[in-house]
């Protein structure tokens, strides 16, 4: 039996291209039908942006998991564990623990005070225009980084799964993925996007569960045996210990701390995650959503631990690294080793669906932020009717879709998990301090908010531009130049404390006082849910 051969024949993967495409086409067909059916009731802005606030906590929780478990989580973390051992596991812990920030400090209070976007909450008791513009800009920046990561992932994934290795072919597939995504979001709005995410989350978690049980059964359901086999294949017992990737130098250790900080503080500030809390009718359902997603995401990351070490043991780090798609190919190669072409086809289709669903969620968030915050509230000063606003949102979807396609083609081949970590760093620096201050600090002012948001955003982006990510290293985006004066590849450790500091400083130096009645209203609303947006009944 060829499945018993320990080495995976990468060349044999090409024979499965048609099967992969078939399974993916089936997924697209089924979800399109669902999106069309779901879109029938898309009438108002609340329908388009927030799915009429009609999803239940468990549905929304599953969709959040679908949104959050991006290609970076599934392919990136499995690959990181397979190649770097324990250090890959550290990513998943940061990604999971971060949900406690969302659960305890943000989700319910945000649901009670906002309408559609993050800026609704941040500008509630401060001066509308400056805060809204700042919040919308940072929303767009985070979405852009995250989108770039997903589209770049699509390119490298395709080279492995569809056997398309030339640049033009990959670009074509990125265009197809982008066009499909634009259709989902245009037609389905938030409701269609949510259903795509729910279906994808169920498929992804089930697929990962089957593979996990399969790997464990090979080792007699003994984790210790699996770890031993991984260390044997790698011929290096250190894959079980921390430090393989980040322990090399003092700088890399500091870099890891910076990454850990960005991961744990970034999640609760990701605009596309925050927007999902508006799709449920009450704060209690928002709480249920987070609880549900914590269980699903936690379970999934436990699976990736087994899958990563399983790939290390059964496929081997060297085979993974030399395969097209590199580190990201660990999970698909493991699927091929276990279940042959059929399981590979299924896992590949799920990985595609993942990219599609996450990109759709990001696009609708960015479009809502532009149409609702910048167009409706700043450009037309609240005088635009909801119909025009939704029209603007739909046009924005097309613009963002095209930008994502171009960005994806340009960023093709960049490290996926890494770009996502940068998006987390930008979110944690630009958004989190202002979210926390405006929910919990009575004296917080407009100046504090704008200093913190612009300061955090620009610090994060400038530090990334001056880091080894962009220049001066073998893996940099720009080769042959070196302006990397900042040694760390993740800016979080500097930019996050700086943004907190600026928020405080801007507030204490502000001569203007904010409206205390508005502060009272926000506090009472956030804790009691009085006057919160209700669900739309059709």
Partner 1 sequence: MGNEAQTPDAAASVDFQEVQQTGQFQELRKRHRSFVFPMAIAFLLWYFAYVLLADYAVGFMSTKLWGNINVGLVLGLLQFVSTFGITAWYVHYSNRRLDPIAAEIRNEIEGHEFDKGSAVRGAAK
- Which of 403, 527, 535, 536 is in the footprint of partner 1 by CB under 8 A? 527
- Which of 242, 326, 487, 497 is in the footprint of partner 1 by CB under 8 A? 242
Residue 227 within binding range of partner 1, rule CB under 8 A:
yes
Residue 231 within binding range of partner 1, rule CB under 8 A:
yes
Segment near partner 1 (CB under 8 A), from 1-9, 76-84, 240-248, 411-419? 240-248
Nearer to partner 1, 57 or 407 (CB): 57
**What's the Cα-to-Cα distance from 16 to each of 24, 128, 311, 341, 522, rounded to whole Å?**
12, 55, 20, 6, 56
- Residue appearing with tokens 């130049």: 481
Smallest gap from Cβ 227 to partner 1, in A, equals 4
- Which of 63, 90, 133, 177 is in the footprint of partner 1 by CB under 8 A? 90
Judge contact between 77 and 302, C-beta under 8 A. Answer: no
Q: Crossing angle for the helix pair 416-430 and 432-440, nearest 10 degrees? A: 30
User: Which residues 302-361 are close enough to bind partner 1 by CB under 8 A?
Assistant: 302
B/e letters for 128-147, b = 16+ CB within 10 Å, e = fewer, are: bebbbbbbbbbbbbbbbbbb
- Which of 298, 339, 413, 487 is in the footprint of partner 1 by CB under 8 A? 298
Residue 240 within binding range of partner 1, rule CB under 8 A:
yes
Cβ neighbour number for residue 58 with a 10 Å cutoff: 17
Residue 487 within binding range of partner 1, rule CB under 8 A:
no
- Which of 216, 403, 501, 524 is in the footprint of partner 1 by CB under 8 A? 524
Smallest gap from Cβ 38 to partner 1, in A, equals 25
Residue 253 within binding range of partner 1, rule CB under 8 A:
yes
- Which of 36, 221, 295, 483 is in the footprint of partner 1 by CB under 8 A? 295
- Which of 326, 340, 497, 529 is in the footprint of partner 1 by CB under 8 A? 529
Nearer to partner 1, 253 or 381 (CB): 253
Judge contact between 103 and 273, C-beta under 8 A. Answer: no
- Which of 43, 321, 395, 525 is in the footprint of partner 1 by CB under 8 A? 525
User: Which residues 265-294 are close enough to bind partner 1 by CB under 8 A?
Assistant: 284, 287, 290-291, 294
Classify residue 410 by burial, with Cβ atoms within 10 Å: 0-12, 13-18, 19+: middle
**What's the Cα-to-Cα distance from 176 to each of 74, 171, 361, 402, rounded to whole Å?**
22, 9, 17, 11
Three-state helix/strand/coil letters over 123-135: CCCCCHHHHHHHH
Segment near partner 1 (CB under 8 A), from 255-263, 384-392, 394-402, 447-455? 255-263
Distance of alpha carbon 108 from the chain centroid: 20
Alpha helices (H) in 69-127, listed in sequence order: 71, 78-84, 86-97, 99-101, 107-113, 118-122
- Which of 9, 165, 241, 249 is in the footprint of partner 1 by CB under 8 A? 241
Segment near partner 1 (CB under 8 A), from 132-140, 371-379, 498-506, 522-530? 522-530
User: Which residues 69-88 are close enough to bind partner 1 by CB under 8 A?
Assistant: 86
User: Which residues 421-460 are close enough to bind partner 1 by CB under 8 A?
Assistant: 440
Judge contact between 59 and 214, C-beta under 8 A. Answer: no
Classify residue 398 by burial, with Cβ atoms within 10 Å: 0-12, 13-18, 19+: middle
Judge contact between 10 and 324, C-beta under 8 A. Answer: yes
Residue 96 within binding range of partner 1, rule CB under 8 A:
yes
Q: Does an H or E element contain 174, and which?
A: helix 167-218
Segment near partner 1 (CB under 8 A), from 24-32, 59-67, 295-303, 372-380? 295-303
Q: Quote the CA–CA distance of 279 and 276 in Å, as a whole number.
A: 6
Q: Quote the CA–CA distance of 29 and 61 in Å, as a whole number.
A: 24
Smallest gap from Cβ 87 to partner 1, in A, equals 8
Structure-derived torsion over alpha carbons of residues 178, 182, 188, 193, reported in degrees to the nearest 10: 40
Structure-derived torsion over alpha carbons of residues 141, 146, 151, 155, reported in degrees to the nearest 10: 130
Residue 58 within binding range of partner 1, rule CB under 8 A:
no
- Which of 202, 216, 257, 466 is in the footprint of partner 1 by CB under 8 A? 257
3-state helix, strand, coil in the chain (%, to 5): 80, 0, 20
Residue 264 within binding range of partner 1, rule CB under 8 A:
yes
Classify residue 419 by burial, with Cβ atoms within 10 Å: 0-12, 13-18, 19+: buried
User: Which one, of 138, 128, 145, 115, lies nearest residue 53 by Cα?
Assistant: 115
Nearer to partner 1, 410 or 441 (CB): 441
Q: Crossing angle for the helix pair 330-368 and 167-218, nearest 10 degrees? A: 120
Segment near partner 1 (CB under 8 A), from 5-13, 93-101, 166-174, 475-483? 93-101
- Which of 19, 21, 32, 100 is in the footprint of partner 1 by CB under 8 A? 100
Segment near partner 1 (CB under 8 A), from 59-67, 96-104, 273-281, 369-377? 96-104
Nearer to partner 1, 235 or 253 (CB): 253
Residue 228 within binding range of partner 1, rule CB under 8 A:
yes
- Mask: binding to partner 1, 184-223, rule CB under 8 A, as x and -? --------------------------------------xx
Residues that bind partner 1 (CB under 8 A): 86, 89-90, 93-94, 96-97, 99-101, 103-105, 222-225, 227-228, 231, 238, 240-243, 246-247, 253, 256-257, 260-261, 264, 284, 287, 290-291, 294-295, 298, 301-302, 440, 516-517, 520-521, 523-525, 527-534
């Amino acid at each position: 039996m060829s499945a018993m051969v320990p080495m995976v024949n990468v060349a044999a993967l090409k024979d499965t291209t048609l099967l992969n495409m078939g399974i993916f086409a089936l997924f697209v067909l089924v979800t399109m039908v669902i999106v069309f059916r779901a879109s029938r009731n898309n009438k108002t802005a609340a329908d388009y942006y927030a799915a009429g606030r009609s999803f239940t906590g468990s549905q929304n929780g599953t969709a959040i998991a679908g949104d959050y478990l991006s290609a970076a989580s599934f392919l990136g973390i499995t690959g990181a564990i397979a190649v770097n051992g324990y250090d890959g596991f550290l990513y998943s812990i940061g990604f999971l623990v971060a949900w406690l920030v969302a659960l305890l400090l943000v989700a319910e209070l945000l649901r009670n005070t906002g309408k559609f976007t993050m800026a609704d909450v941040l500008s509630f008791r401060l001066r509308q225009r400056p805060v809204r513009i700042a919040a919308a800009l940072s929303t767009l920046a985070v979405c852009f980084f995250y989108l770039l990561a997903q589209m770049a992932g699509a390119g490298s994934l395709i080279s492995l799964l569809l056997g398309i290795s030339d640049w033009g072919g990959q670009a074509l597939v990125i265009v197809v993925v982008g066009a499909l995504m634009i259709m989902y979001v245009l037609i389905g709005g938030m409701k269609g996007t949510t259903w795509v995410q729910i279906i994808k989350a169920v498929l992804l978690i089930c697929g990962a569960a089957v593979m996990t049980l399969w790997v464990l059964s090979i080792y007699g359901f003994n984790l210790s045996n699996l770890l031993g086999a991984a260390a044997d294949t790698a011929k290096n017992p250190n894959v079980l210990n921390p430090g393989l990737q980040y322990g090399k130098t003092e700088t890399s250790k500091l870099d890891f701390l910076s990454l850990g900080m960005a991961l744990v503080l970034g999640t609760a500030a990701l605009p596309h995650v925050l927007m999902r809390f508006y799709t449920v009718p009450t704060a209690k359902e928002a709480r249920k959503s987070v609880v549900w997603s914590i269980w699903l995401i936690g379970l999934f990351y436990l699976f990736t631990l087994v899958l990563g070490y399983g790939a290390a043991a059964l496929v081997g780090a060297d085979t993974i690294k030399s395969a097209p798609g590199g580190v990201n190919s660990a999970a698909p190669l493991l699927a091929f080793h276990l279940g042959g072409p059929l399981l590979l086809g299924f896992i590949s289709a799920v990985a595609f669906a993942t990219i599609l669903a996450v990109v759709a969620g990001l696009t609708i968030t960015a479009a809502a932020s532009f149409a609702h915050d910048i167009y409706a509230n700043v450009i037309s000063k609240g005088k635009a009717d909801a119909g025009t606003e939704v029209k603007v949102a739909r046009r924005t979807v097309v613009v963002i879709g095209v930008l994502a396609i171009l960005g994806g083609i340009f960023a093709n081949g960049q490290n996926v998990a890494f770009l996502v970590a940068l998006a987390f760093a930008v979110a944690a620096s630009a958004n989190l301090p202002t979210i926390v201050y405006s929910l919990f600090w009575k004296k917080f002012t407009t100046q504090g908010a704008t200093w913190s948001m612009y300061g955090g955003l620009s610090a994060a982006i400038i530090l990334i531009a001056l880091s080894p990510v962009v220049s001066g290293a073998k893996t940099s985006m720009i080769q042959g130049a070196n302006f990397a004066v900042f040694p760390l590849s993740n800016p979080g450790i500097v930019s996050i404390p700086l943004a907190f500091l600026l928020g405080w400083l801007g507030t204490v130096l502000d001569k203007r006082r904010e409206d205390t009645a508005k502060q009272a209203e926000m506090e009472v609303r956030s804790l009691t849910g009085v006057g919160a947006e209700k669900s739309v009944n059709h």
